[in-house]
Structure 1
Amino acid sequence: MSSECEGKSSWPELVGAPGEVAVATIERENPLVNAIIVRPGTIITPDIRCDRVRVFVDANGNVDRVPIIQ
């Protein structure tokens, strides 16, 4: 699905970065998306949207997997 979405769709370089920094970077690099932080244990919906990037963070608030459009 992300291949059908416009603009940059993944940010592997942000793994390990603070979540808030990742959100700002993602939204700056692709203004068509809203990046949201997802904390450990958060239940998420399985739908895929071209305007959303989930930023999964660890207990310390650092990105723990590659943020992608989903």
Structure 2
Amino acid sequence: MSTNGNHVPNICCLPKCCPPAPRSNWPELLGQNANSAKATIEKENPLLKVIPLPAGSVRVDSSCCDRVFVSVDENGNVIEVPTIG
């Protein structure tokens, strides 16, 4: 779908669009390398889009059931428990 030439991803952020997920968070990845954490999450659930973000980054206000933000410190390690949303 396009709007004024801008690509709009086909993502539904409404709970009714969210299939049940085997997990919603990964506490064991806290302190791990972000690339390794991303690979682990995507291997467990290939339907998720994993987005590494530097610590303190501004996130969008909406919560989406197909997205996991991974907060990363200056050393590339996970500093918050990755959670779907």
TM-score (norm 2): 0.73
Q: How does 1:1-70 map to 2 (within 5 A)?
A: 6-7=20-21, 8-70=23-85
Gaps of 5+ in 1: none
Gaps of 5+ in 2: 1-14
User: What is the DSSP-based 3-state SS (H/G/I as helix, E as strand, rest coil) of the residue aligned with 1:56?
Assistant: strand
- 4+ aligned runs moved over 4 Å, structure 1: none
Identity fraction in percent? 46
1:19-70 CA-partner distances (Å, limit 9, x unpaired) = 0000000011112211110112322111100100000011111000100001
Higher percent of residues as helix: 1
Q: 1:58 to 1:5 in 2, by over 3 A?
A: farther
Bigger relative contact order, structure 1 or 2, given CA contacts below 8 A and separation 6+?
A: 1
Aligned length: 68
Query: Which has the higher Rg, Structure 1 or Structure 2?
Result: 2
Q: Please give the root-mean-square deviation of Cα atoms over the aligned residues, in Å.
A: 1.5
Rounded to whole Å, the distance in 2 between the matches of 1:48 and 1:5 is: 14
Rounded to whole Å, the distance in 2 between the matches of 1:31 and 1:15 is: 20
